[in-house]
Each structure stands twice: as structure tokens, then as C-alpha cells.
Structure 1
């Protein structure tokens, strides 16, 4: 379910200042991903931005990448914290992590909307330093816990200062409220579907486990045709323009990233006697990739396009070659996690087969190696699970030729051009 009691979470005064400042996009081109979370898969897409949070313990976030917001306005939700730019609330731990800490306030002079501030915390954004349209945005995070604690990893449109919220759009990649330790929410907000009417879903860990007990990877894969939410590689919600019930789809322009830990507010409620402080959100990395190849065709033998048969997004829909039409069934988002996606689902080897001739299909993204692909300098598209190449059956370039996996031969029917 969407966050039913959630109101807007932006500060108009604070964010207009940073949004209207100059925007600088840092571009780092790499065809190989890094980190344990990649599960051995090389990234096909360009990594466009990242922060791995390497540095000495006690150092603040990199000011070339992040702006620390300050204030205790309540941020439209009657939140209780005052956001500071102090390293007591946001600092590296010297082990490759950024730690955001919510604390009880000890500064009698610190004023919030309701009087003397009860808590301090941190909120940082990339509005001055990095924005992007489409691609994969992910972070590996260990969230805090407790009643009244509200951690989030999210995005806002860079036109916030001119068109206002919710017309600028908001993409919440991950939100948690402390009274739901096993659950996170992914939501979008736009004109006609904002606040309590936001569109999205929730995801719960199996067995009722708490998200605060370990790190998890929270991601969205965003293309012109869809926004797809996942946790640890498992998709739990796909939203397309048709899902806004006739309201305007505003996810077609650059957005920037935000990390924060709020305390209290209309949705999570206030801390109570069970809430312990300090509480920390530990961030292992934040990465963006895929804009260079988001929503692009993949062409093979005879210049034919990789196509989802019939334009269907049903599980097990075959993948084929087809004359290039430019429609959504041929627009592929190449994720930094090695997935190749169209219509909100993943390019998949049926049954995780390693046999020659295994069917390639569209299937709900599930994080398995049957859905992880490596794009080589030789233009092979190799499935990680099978160690075999995407192959046009029978060396054919005819309309409707089915795609399969096969031992890599270097043949023209196994060569692919992205974009």
C-alpha cells in the first residue's frame, strides 16, 4: 500500500535555494560495476554518479556531492527534528559508510516550529551537484529503528523552485516508519496523486524480519515508460503512465537525490517511551547509472530490434527480433545491477536454464543470475547465470525470430548494439 498518512516532505524555502543554484552533473563512464551487491554481474550501463563514502572517521559528507540542509520548520509534516550541518548528525565512520544520526537535542537555543527543538538529525541532497533523467538509482542502507523514526532515500524534480510541489514530482525509493520494522514503502507524488493520495506499494521482509537488522539494497529503475521499485533485487511495484488514472505523468525531467532521517511527524507519529536515542542510518553507498542507455533500442543481426512479443508485459512473454518501431516494447533500460528491462520487467532465461537453446523471456525482476547480463567490448550480451550469449535462433534476422541463450560463438546473431 502507499503511505496512507504521508504529506509532503520538502521545505520550500530551503530547497528553492539549492534548486535554483547552478546544477553540475558529474559523469563517470564505466561498463563494470563494483561492490559485493553486484553479485558478480558487470554493469552494462554507464555509472553516472556515486558516493562510496570512503574517508576518515568523523569527516562530513563530501561537499562536492552533497548539500546539508538545515532547519526545524517541520517540513510540511509537523516533524520534530532540527536538521544540522554538524558532523554529530552526518559523518563518515572510516569504514566506507556515511552515518546519519538522530539525537535528543541538548542545545537550548535551537528553535523548531513548536518551540525548543527536541531532536537533531541530518538531511542531505544533490540538487547543486547531480541531477539525472531516467536510469537506476540505488543505495545500500541499514536503517534505524524505533517508534517515531522516519528514514528515507528519495528524489525530487529539479524544477521544484519554478513549478512547485507536487508538479515537480517526487519519487520515494525507500521510506520506513519505526512502527513497521519489517516494511518499507515506495511511492510517487505528482499532480492529482500527492500526499495521502501518492501511488506506490510496500515491501515486507520474509518471516517478519526487521530492516534495521542488516543492510539492504533499495532501488528504482526509471524509464520513460515505467518506474520499478525493488529491494535486494526483487521487484515489488511497477508504475506506468497509465497508472496515474488520467493525471499528468511528471517523471520526464531531471531529479536529484535526498537522504534523511526524520523524527516524528504526521505519518510515523512521535517517539514514545519505547524509542531509544541516538538512532543511526548507515549508508554503504549511493549509485546512479543507466541514463546513457535508458529507454534505448538494442539492435542485432540485420539491424533488427530486440522486442517483447505483442508488447505484452505478462510473465513469460517471449523475446524476439522485430523491425525497429521505437515503441515501448523495444525500449530497454540497462540497469547498473546487470538487469535489462522493458515494460517494467526483466530479460530472463526461462527456469534459470544453462542449456543451449534456453528460451529468453520477459519476467518479473527477482534478482537472480538468470536476469543478470554482461555486455562485452565484443558486443556479446552474456547471461551471468548460464555463461552463454544472447542468440538469434537459427542465425535468422526475420521478423519474429525468437531469442535464446547459446554457447558464445562470435557469430553475427550474437552481436548486439545498445542505443
Structure 2
């Protein structure tokens, strides 16, 4: 943005994975670890956590934005309900001066410079968009090395301009492809100000993947640059979260623009391992650090899905396609489309039914949407071969999953 975000009951399978049990010792499989997280919990009116975020102060002549960024809680504060609220206001209480004269608006911009940066991983936010002509929210990243912009690199995980209420953009900027020449794509969906949505970037060497609500919509590799320099390998990036007002791209607010105007952020999370898409999918780990596994790596319809030691086989590599979770070319499925506690899950041909629709919540639950029940390890039993099922969500450890998909 320099110039142009399970409840399972219990039932043992009875037999462990024969092929896996007889296999060579399991490789050392990396499990995604959370490296940065802000859930924005705290009393209403509390400022952001200063150990995680810097509050920028000043205007932005580069983009010809209209706001003056402040460190006041009237522009960025917790709401007491687990959210950060960034508020743009039409005001100038401090007689601030901007590039165009006396500032007309205030807002907030947060960054993690000197407090957090990382190379590769999954970067995600869940937020409810601002709205209206001239509003410009963004969740993005900048390189910490490589010189000045754009040589250091910029990754825009999510940008929205108010005149496109149903569209978000993901873009990269670097030497020879910056500003309006950045390389990216748009995702068109619902009106993003009407509810919370999740915006995710998976970053691996030579690969960037963007998602909205778990739906992949863009991939970028060095091949997309036409010989220009890829600046997104082996370089830490820090995070920026802001709500701009006006600028070259969104244009200025007008009489129709609501003021005050808010960007409501549920969380920002980073893990050290990207999700599915880096070549074959990712693991889903849960109780005792074990994996969601297709018994015997069998692709037949009705094959049990169970808990098993993580071993890196394809029986444990899951990808996400919309609300479906897939392994071995088939879908995670609730047997018979059942919704009762204790209904087991299995592998089945993907068919788009409610039995195969899953949501991954911010609380690390995997929820069957049709049943409104959680993926659950039967009997809270961590033994290899324990069957997975659906069960009312309780928040227990046998329903918590780290889904790198």
C-alpha cells in the first residue's frame, strides 16, 4: 500500500494402520507453531499492546491520503469484546498539518517494526471492513532488508477501496513492479463490511498464495515477474494494519461517506508454516500432537478417518477447497450425513453436500457446518487408530486442531 489480512466423541477403530505401523521410523515432521498472535482481548477503551505494535503518527504524502495518523485511543482501541477497532474521524483536535494543509481526518496505522518480523509462514487476519467512498483499509507487510521501498519488497495481503465494497485485492511490489505497476489479483465476494471475513497469505520460498475465507484466489511465483527481481525469499517482513482515508486509488470521501468509520479486527495471527498449497497439502494436528489420518491410506469410500502419529504420508496431507477438507483426492465426510453426537467421519467422494462442509474457527475448532458440531477425538483417547467423530463443541482439548491447510 506504499503507493498505489471441533467436537469429536470417541470410538476406537480397533486396528491401527497396518502399512503405517510397519513403515520406517516417521520423519521429523514440522508442526505449525504460532509465532505472533494478538486476539485483542482487554477492557473497552484499552490501547493496543505496545509490546506487539507501534502506533505511527503523521500524514502520508506519498499516497496523497487525507488522514493524520495518531496514537490516541479515540482512533485505535479495544472494544472489550475481543476486537480492535480502528476509527477514522472527520476532525482535527490537535490542529494537525498534512501535506495539503490543515488535516481533515484522523485515523490509525499500526506496525510491528522492531517487535516482530518473519520469513515465510501463514499470515492471517479476521476483520469486518470499513465502508464508503474514500475508505482504504489494508493488512500488509514490508521487508526489513534490501534498502528502501520498493527494493525491500511489499506484500499486500488485503486491500479494499470503498468504491468496491465487494472486492479485495492482493498485490506484490518490488523493483520494477511497484505502485500502480504492482502485480496482483482481485477477489470478488460478499459486501465485506456486512460481517467478519478471514484474509490469509501463505508464504513459502518462491511461492505466495492468497485466500479469502479459506478460498484460494491467487498464486505468485518468480515466473510472474518477467525477469524482474523476486524479493520475497530469505528476507523477514513486518506487519502493517491501517485504515487510510482518501488517496490516489480510493479517491476522497464525499457526502455519502459515513463518519466516524470503523475497521473492526478480531485477530492477527502468524504461524511458522504455511498452509495447503505448498505442494501436497498440510497436516491437521490435534490431541497429543497427533495427526488426522486416513486409515491405511485407503482411498475407498467409507475409509475411517482417525488419529495417528504424524508421519508425513499422503494419508495425512489435507488441502482446503472452499469449505471442503480433502486428502487422497477425496473429502472429509460425516457418515450418512448425520448430525447426531458420535456420528463418525470418513473419507468419501467429494459431492458438495452438508456432510462435507467444514469451517475452521479462530478458536481452532473444525466445525461441520450442517450439524453445527465439532470434529472430535472419540473418548479423548490419544491412542493411534482412535476414530474421529462429530460432537457438540465443548472447547475440550480433543476438539482443538492446528490446521495447516
Q: Secondary structure at the match of 1:174?
A: strand
Structure 2: give runs of 5+ residues left out of the alignment.
9-29, 284-311, 336-344, 351-355, 365-373, 379-383, 387-403
User: For 1:140-159, what aligned pairs fall within 5 Å after superposition?
Assistant: 140-159=126-145
Give the match for residue 280 of structure 1. Answer: 262
Give the match for residue 153 of structure 2. Answer: 169
Q: CA deviation at 1:351?
A: 3.8
Alignment CA distance shift 1:40-1:248 (3 Å)? farther
The number of aligned residues is 299
Alignment CA distance shift 1:386-1:101 (3 Å)? closer
Give the match for residue 237 of structure 2. Answer: 255
Give the match for residue 164 of structure 2. Answer: 180
Q: CA deviation at 1:202?
A: 0.7
**Cα RMSD for the two superposed structures:** 3.8
Q: CA deviation at 1:109?
A: 1.8
Give the match for residue 49 of structure 1. Answer: 36
Q: CA deviation at 1:182?
A: 0.5
Question: Is 1:79 aligned with 2:79?
Answer: no
Q: Secondary structure at the match of 1:275?
A: coil
The superposition leaves residues 266-291 of structure 1 with CA deviations (integer Å, 9 ceiling, x where unpaired) of 00000011111000000000000024
Q: Secondary structure at the match of 2:224?
A: helix
Runs of 4+ in 1 over 4 A off after TM superposition: 291-299, 338-341, 353-361, 367-372, 384-388
Q: Secondary structure at the match of 1:212?
A: helix
Give the match for residue 271 of structure 2. Answer: 289
Q: Distance in 2 between matches of 1:370 and 1:185?
A: 23
Aligned equivalent of 1:60, options 18, 37, 47: 47
Retained in 1: the 8 A contact 2:139–2:158?
A: yes
Q: Distance in 2 between matches of 1:122 and 1:211?
A: 20
Alignment CA distance shift 1:235-1:70 (3 Å)? same
Q: Distance in 2 between matches of 1:236 and 1:288?
A: 20
Alignment CA distance shift 1:211-1:357 (3 Å)? closer
The superposition leaves residues 121-158 of structure 1 with CA deviations (integer Å, 9 ceiling, x where unpaired) of 00000112100000000000001100000000000001
Q: CA deviation at 1:96?
A: 0.7
Question: Is 1:8 aligned with 2:3?
Answer: yes
User: For 1:375-414, what aligned pairs fall within 5 Å after superposition?
Assistant: 409=385
Retained in 2: the 8 A contact 1:46–1:292?
A: no
User: For 1:123-138, what aligned pairs fall within 5 Å after superposition?
Assistant: 123-138=109-124
Q: CA deviation at 1:181?
A: 0.4
Q: CA deviation at 1:200?
A: 1.2
Which structure is richer in relative contact order (CA contacts within 8 A, separation 6 or more)? 2
Q: Secondary structure at the match of 2:92?
A: coil
Q: Distance in 2 between matches of 1:260 and 1:154?
A: 9
The superposition leaves residues 296-336 of structure 1 with CA deviations (integer Å, 9 ceiling, x where unpaired) of 9999xxxxxxxxxxxxxxxxxxxxxxxxxxxxxx9x9x9xx
User: For 1:314-325, what aligned pairs fall within 5 Å after superposition?
Assistant: none
Retained in 2: the 8 A contact 1:350–1:358?
A: no
Give the match for residue 352 of structure 1. Answer: 331
Give the match for residue 211 of structure 1. Answer: 192
Q: Distance in 2 between matches of 1:257 and 1:120?
A: 21
Aligned equivalent of 1:103, options 55, 77, 89: 89
Q: CA deviation at 1:243?
A: 1.3
Q: Distance in 1 between matches of 2:227 and 2:140?
A: 24
